[in-house]
Structure 1
Amino acid sequence: MTPAHTSRTRRLLCTAAMTLSLTAAGLTTAPALQAQDNPYERGPNPTVASIEAATGPFAVERTTVPASVSGFGGGTIYYPTSTSEGTFGAVAIAPGFTESQSATSWYGPRLASQGFVVFTIDTNGIFDFPDDRGRQLLAALNHLVRSSPVRDRVDPDRLGVMGHSMGGGGALSAANSTPALQAAIPLTGWHTTTNWAGLQVPTLVIGAENDFIASVSGHSEPFYESMPPTLDKGYLELAGASHFAPNSSNTTIAKYSISWLKRFIDNDTRYEQFLCPAPDDRTISEYRDTCPHSG
């Protein structure tokens, strides 16, 4: 068996285990979808224009989760209004050190309009460190699939995590502890751990060339390099950008995050074209990827 097949088999086994765990916990299963080659595809065939657009093909609404919930500090859920195509994959997003969910709020409607349920969260404390933020991301996903008012729109087997700065470190921590997740995207991530050799979740590391808080040489690059060579992984470095680039609407971050989440949460190979081969994009100073993807 090739390393790529081994990696894929591991993820399939982990997904099966998570499915059994969620079923045992009493979660409802996703409704049956019409048979097709990939029942998780959502939306029309993508183009460069469609993934760069500020608004995708799905109309979006939002609902607020109070801070009184257990495990994290509340947040906002953005979701597609139509369920005609079935349930959706979901992603929880954590802010950075001293930040609130407002720092990542732009991802909510941007990603949800492409066919995801998106949960931007507040942390229990603005000074929480990455591992704690990782646990809070997992608590938010648990709330999303078990207790939230949109739980019937979410496929509990298709979940991912994102985060900025220490929230990005939290996304790595959550993915490392929960291999059944389908995707992780740390955004100018910060973590004292730089060795992620045990990571099994497809991960897109996004760094910023002029980041002096979580420098790419001290964080994003060693994160990526330490991940297993058999893992579906990517490294994207934003040209001339600062640590806080992910906190404002950014077309480059959006288009490649959408493509990564579609490719691995939805297993939608229509988006592979935007990730492999390496994109020729003047807003990117460096790009690495384990193309072709096996997931």
Structure 2
Amino acid sequence: MQQLSNETIGSPPSHRPDRRFRPRLLRAGLAAVLAVGGLITAQSGSAGAAENPYERGPAPTVSSIEAPRGHYAVSETRVSSLGVTGFGGGTIYYPTTTGDGTFGAVAISPGYTGTQSSISWLGPRLASQGFVVFTIDTLTTLDQPASRGAQLLSALDYLTQRSTVRDRVDRSRLGVMGHSMGGGGSLEAAKSRPTLQAAIPLTGWNLDKTWPELRTPTLLVGADGDTIAPVSSHSEPFYESLPGSLDKAYLELNGASHFTPNTSNTTIAKYSVSWLKRFIDNDQRYEQFLCPLPRPSSTIEEYRGNCPHTS
């Protein structure tokens, strides 16, 4: 300090700093640095949010997507068939929290002669990963795929426009799933409403074998032991007929039957969660579970798909 004072005193008057202004200058300089730093931080945060504002939940791991329950606590509400039109009512499962904004949503249809109870395990399992899930009953248990497709869309319209949880749903981020004829119905729904972000037919059945008009990213799940909707005449030709430019995948379960999707199944859940997260939420963190393509294993007979995904 003494050396500084001597140098200051020995300086010509025109170059001698005025002590009275030093604190002010230091404060101004510090404020400018903080402001620039804050601006950079804000811009970086904004850029990250703008890159994907739909990420929900912590970074995924193999354990987290295979777990029976995800990060979110789940609530549910029943929807009576008497209060809706176009489908048979059902159950809505949704993340309990109101602190993470809106969520993407998926409607799920049962198969021929089935009710929502046959696919109810998917409700809390998917909702706990950060989705609003609507497992539905159909108008009759004998409805064909085209009717089930229309009912899935009616259920999504109810969910986003009239349901008690409509404010929790982002109506621009919707998907469909279904088992057997409900799986065929999910293809019909995607054909009718190309704005859907994801479709997952589970051992799907449909007399229409070609779907070149689909624009919705589609994961087809077949079973190697399926004798009702054999993969050779259903899931495989469905997959092969999809446009080559479409994000698509074919998962054939090993040691499985047509009715495997009716009970809790880790492989179905793992890849359904990854597909819905990747395409409904555009969450690139889940790409790692889909690309490179999963290899055959004790639970996977075959997996086909296009990697990396484009949308």
Tell me the residue number matched to 2:123. 108
One-letter amino acid of the counterpart of residue 236, structure 2: E
For 2:184 and 2:197, the matched residues in 1 are separated by 17
Does 1:238 pair with 2:250? no
Does 1:41 pair with 2:67? no
Does 1:288 pair with 2:304? yes
For 1:228 and 1:83, the matched residues in 2 are separated by 39
RMSD: 0.9
Tell me the residue number matched to 2:166. 151
For the residue of structure 1 that corresponds to 2:51, the secondary structure is: coil
TM norm structure 2: 0.83
Does 1:223 pair with 2:276? no
Please say which of residues 273-282 and 190-199 is displaced more in the overlay. Answer: 273-282
TM-superposed CA distance for 1:235, in Å, is: 0.1
TM-superposed CA distance for 1:36, in Å, is: 4.4
For 1:35 and 1:243, the matched residues in 2 are separated by 41
1:25-36 matched pairs, under 5 angstroms = 35-36=49-50
Deviations 1:10-30 (A, max 9, x none): xxxxxxxxxxxxxxxxxxxxx
Q: Whose RCO is larger (CA < 8 A, sep 6+)? A: 1
1:12-23 matched pairs, under 5 angstroms = none
TM-superposed CA distance for 1:109, in Å, is: 0.2
For 2:51 and 2:182, the matched residues in 1 are separated by 35
TM-superposed CA distance for 1:135, in Å, is: 0.1
Match of 2:185 among 162, 165, 170: 170
TM-superposed CA distance for 1:85, in Å, is: 1.4
Tell me the residue number matched to 2:64. 50
For the residue of structure 2 that corresponds to 1:167, the secondary structure is: helix
Match of 1:139 among 144, 154, 162: 154
Tell me the residue number matched to 1:271. 286
For 2:201 and 2:49, the matched residues in 1 are separated by 34
TM-superposed CA distance for 1:83, in Å, is: 2.1
One-letter amino acid of the counterpart of residue 286, structure 1: E
For the residue of structure 2 that corresponds to 1:207, the secondary structure is: strand
Write out the 4+ residue segments of structure 1 that deviate beyond 6 Å after TM superposition: none
For the residue of structure 2 that corresponds to 1:110, the secondary structure is: helix
For the residue of structure 2 that corresponds to 1:35, the secondary structure is: helix
1:109-124 matched pairs, under 5 angstroms = 109-124=124-139
- Higher Rg: 2
One-letter amino acid of the counterpart of residue 187, structure 1: L
Q: Is there any run of 5+ residues in structure 2 with no aligned partner, and where?
A: 1-47
Tell me the residue number matched to 2:81. 67
For the residue of structure 2 that corresponds to 1:215, the secondary structure is: coil
Q: Percentage identity across aligned positions?
A: 69
